[in-house]
Structure 1
Amino acid sequence: MPNWTMPPRDPVEIDVLVFDRFSNLCLANAVEPLRAANTFAGRAAYRWRLLTRDGAPVESSSGLRLMPEAPALPRACDYLFVLASYGAETQDAPATRRTLRAMAAKARVVAGLDTGPWLMAAAGLLDGRRATVHWDALDGFAERFPGIEALRERVVTDGNRLTCAGAMSAYEMAAGLVRAHLGEAAALEIDGLFMAGEARAAPGPGQGLTGRALALMRAHLETPLAVEEIARRLGCQRRTLDRRFVAETGAPAGRVYRHLRLSAARQMAETGRLPVSEIALRTGYESPAALARAFRARYGESIRALRQG
C-alpha cells in the first residue's frame, strides 16, 4: 500500500482549495470518482468541501463560476487538494503561501493537481521531494525549484505529498485513493462507470498480465470466458494468473471477473429500464434467477429495490 494512504475510515475528509482559472475537467475528475464511490459503497465514505483562499467566487478557465462553501481556513482533514491551472505563477503571493502552510499543517496528505504543485512548491511544501506538475509547466517548474526532483510522470507520490499532472491524472489519483481505501472492487466499479477501462481495453504486449486479463474480461461480459481460457490466451497457467490477481487486486481472477459482470449489471439497472432477463443475458448469467441471487449476495438488495431507492 502506498505510504500516503491511511486506514479506511468514514468519512474521509477532503478540503479542495480551488484557484481562479482552474480546470473544470480536473476538478470533476478529482471529485466525481469519490461521489461514485459513495454511491457504490452505500454510505458517505468521502466528504469534501470546495474552498477558495478568501471565500470569494472563482471562475474556471472556461468561465464557469464556482461558489465556494467557505474560505480556506486551517482545519484537521485527511486530504488537502490544491487545484490551480492557468496563471499559477501570478497566484503565488505571500498570502497564498501562508494559507497553504497553515492548511498543510492540519492535513494528513497534501495533493497538488494540474499546476497546484507550483503553489505547493512556492510555499515550501515540496522541498527535497519528488513531484510532477502539468507538463506544459514542467521545465519552468524544474528551473524555479531546483531543490525538487521534477518528474515527467502522471502521478507522483512522495511520503504524504501527492502531485498529478492534469485532468486525466487527477482521475487516476482519485481512483487510486478509492482503491487504497475501499479496495480493488470499488475501483473497478468506478472505472466501469466512467468507462476509464476502455482506454486500456485492447490487450497488447505493453500491458501487464493483469491488465490484459481485465481487458479480455471486459470484452467478454455477455459470453464469459473460463478463467483457464483467459490464461491460455495470455500464455500462462491459471495458477499464475490467480497469483498475479491476488497480488495486485486482492482477489483471484474468477472473483474479479464475477465482480465486473455484476458491476455492469448494476449500471444497467441504475441507468435504464431493461428487464432483469435482458440484464442477465447481457452480463452472462444463465437466468434472471441466477443474476438475482448473485446481485443480492454482492449488493445486499435486489435490482427492484435498487431501482425503487
Structure 2
Amino acid sequence: MPESAESSVFRYDPAPLNVAILVLDECNTLSFAATVDPMRAANRRAGKTLFEWQFYTATEAPASLTSGLQINGLAIDQLLRCDLLLVVAGFRLEEQATPRLLASLRRLYATGTSIAAIDGGPWFLAKADLLDGHNATTHWEDIEKFSQQFPKVTTLRDRFCISGRIATSGGASPCIDMMLYLIETRYGTDLAHRVSSAFLYDPMPASAQRPISIPRTIHRHPRVITALDLMGQTLDAPLPIPEIAIKTGISTRTLELNFQTHLRKSPQAVYLTMRLEEALRLATETQTSVRDIALATGFNSPTSFARAFKAAHGTSVRALRTQRR
C-alpha cells in the first residue's frame, strides 16, 4: 500500500535535499531541463543550497538525449541512497528496462528514498512493481497503453501525481509544475513563486493532460476545460456536441459561444483537430495500420479518414511514412 505523505519529500522540511538524477537514453531535452533547472533556480533565489544533485545513468556509458546532448554520470547501481531519485526517460523504454536497472530502483526505494519519475520514467517504476497500489500518470500519448499493461496501478490523466513516496508526471511542462510543487511544499510558497517568476512560467492548475495545447487563460473557464477533457478522453468514439454540453452542465449554444470566444473555433472543429493530431502522432511514431489509426481516432470510414487527414496535414499516412524512411 502507498505510504503516507509523512514519509515523502513532498512535505515541509527546511533541510537540504540530496538528489540523484537518473538520465536514460533518448529522454527529451526539455524534460531533462525541467527536472534540473527548478532546483538550480531554487538554490539561487534562496541564496543557499537547498538541492544538491548528481547525475547517474543506467550503465557506465553516458546517456544520450534526443537532442544529441550527452550526460555523464555514475552507474545507478553504484548509488547507495539519496533523499530523492529523479528518473527522466523518453523513448526505447522496454529496451532499457533491464533487470539490473529495475533491481537498482527496488533497492533504492527499499532504503526509504522518494522517487519522482518524469515523462517515460513511470514505466520503469511500474516495471519494477513500485507503482502497484499507487495513483500514477505518464505522458498523455502513452496513458492508454500504460493503463492496460499495468492494471495494478491506478492510472490518471493528471499532469502529475503524488502517492506516498512516489511522484509521476507527464512531459516537460508537467514536470515543472511538479518541481514547483516540491519547492512550495518543502520550502514555502514565496520561494516557489520566485522560482516560477525566474522562468516567466505560470504554473498550471490541477488538470488533465490533453492532446492539444491550449492558452493558459482557458483554465479560468472550467466549463471549457471540462469539455476539452471529455473530448480528449473520447477520441476513438466521439460524443455528439449536445451530449458534451449536457455533461458539462451548459446548453449547446452556450458551449459553442464559449469555444468561439476563447478558442476562436467551434467545438466540432476543436474536436476534429484533437483527433487528427492524435492520428498524426500514431502515423509518425508507431507502426499502427491506417485502418486502426482511423478507428482509434473515431473514423468508421477509411475514405472519410483519408480525406480529413490529408486536409489537415497535406498528405496521406502512407506518403508521410514513405517520406520519413
Same fold (TM over 0.5): yes
Q: Is the Cα contact below 8 Å between 1:10 and 1:44 reproduced in 2?
A: no
Query: Which of residues 178, 191, 194 in structure 2 aligns to 1:173?
Result: 178
User: What CA distance in whole angstroms lies between the structure 1 residues aligned with 2:20 and 2:163?
Assistant: 20
Q: Residue in 2 aligned with 1:39?
A: 44
Q: Residue in 1 aligned with 2:154?
A: 149
- How is 1:261-276 mapped onto 2 (pairs within 5 angstroms)? none
- How is 1:88-103 mapped onto 2 (pairs within 5 angstroms)? 88-103=93-108
TM-score, normalising length from structure 2? 0.59
Which secondary structure state, in structure 2, belongs to the residue aligned with residue 124 of structure 1? coil
Q: Residue in 2 aligned with 1:23?
A: 28
- Ranges in structure 1 where 5+ consecutive residues have no aligned partner: 208-309
TM-score, normalising length from structure 1? 0.62
User: What CA distance in whole angstroms lies between the structure 1 residues aligned with 2:72 and 2:127?
Assistant: 26
CA spacing shift, 1:152–1:103, aligned 2, 3 Å: same
User: What CA distance in whole angstroms lies between the structure 1 residues aligned with 2:143 and 2:54?
Assistant: 28
Deviation at 1:181, TM superposition (A): 1.5
Deviation at 1:107, TM superposition (A): 4.2
Q: Is the Cα contact below 8 Å between 2:83 and 2:113 reproduced in 1?
A: yes
Q: Residue in 2 aligned with 1:12?
A: 17
User: What CA distance in whole angstroms lies between the structure 2 residues aligned with 1:17 and 1:204?
Assistant: 33
Tell me which stretches of 4 or more aligned residues in structure 1 moved more than 6 Å: 198-201
Q: Residue in 2 aligned with 1:81?
A: 86
Q: What's the CA shift string for 1:11-40, capped at 9, x where partnerless? A: 211111111111111111111111111011
* Percentage of pairs with the same residue: 30
CA spacing shift, 1:74–1:103, aligned 2, 3 Å: farther
Deviation at 1:96, TM superposition (A): 1.6
CA spacing shift, 1:97–1:130, aligned 2, 3 Å: same
Q: Residue in 1 aligned with 2:321?
A: none
Q: Residue in 2 aligned with 1:51?
A: 56
- Does 2:221 align with 1:206? yes
Counterpart code for 1:37: A
Which secondary structure state, in structure 2, belongs to the residue aligned with residue 27 of structure 1? helix
CA spacing shift, 1:70–1:37, aligned 2, 3 Å: same
Q: Residue in 1 aligned with 2:137?
A: 132
Q: Is the Cα contact below 8 Å between 2:91 and 2:120 reproduced in 1?
A: yes
Count of equivalent residues:
207
Q: Is the Cα contact below 8 Å between 1:10 and 1:45 reproduced in 2?
A: yes
Q: Residue in 2 aligned with 1:307?
A: none
Which secondary structure state, in structure 1, belongs to the residue aligned with residue 59 of structure 2? coil
CA spacing shift, 1:19–1:107, aligned 2, 3 Å: farther
Q: Is the Cα contact below 8 Å between 2:76 and 2:101 reproduced in 1?
A: no
Mean Cα displacement is larger for which, 61-70 or 81-90? 61-70
Counterpart code for 2:172: A
Deviation at 1:53, TM superposition (A): 2.0
CA spacing shift, 1:120–1:204, aligned 2, 3 Å: closer
CA spacing shift, 1:149–1:75, aligned 2, 3 Å: same
Q: Is the Cα contact below 8 Å between 1:55 and 1:72 reproduced in 2?
A: no
Q: What's the CA shift string for 1:264-292, capped at 9, x where partnerless? A: xxxxxxxxxxxxxxxxxxxxxxxxxxxxx
Mean Cα displacement is larger for which, 72-81 or 112-121? 72-81
Counterpart code for 2:88: L
User: What CA distance in whole angstroms lies between the structure 2 residues aligned with 1:53 and 1:145?
Assistant: 23
User: What CA distance in whole angstroms lies between the structure 2 residues aligned with 1:99 and 1:205?
Assistant: 43
Q: Residue in 2 aligned with 1:67?
A: 72
- Ranges in structure 2 where 5+ consecutive residues have no aligned partner: 205-214, 223-325
Counterpart code for 1:13: N
Which secondary structure state, in structure 2, belongs to the residue aligned with residue 14 of structure 1? strand
User: What CA distance in whole angstroms lies between the structure 1 residues aligned with 2:137 and 2:169?
Assistant: 6
Which secondary structure state, in structure 2, belongs to the residue aligned with residue 196 of structure 1? coil
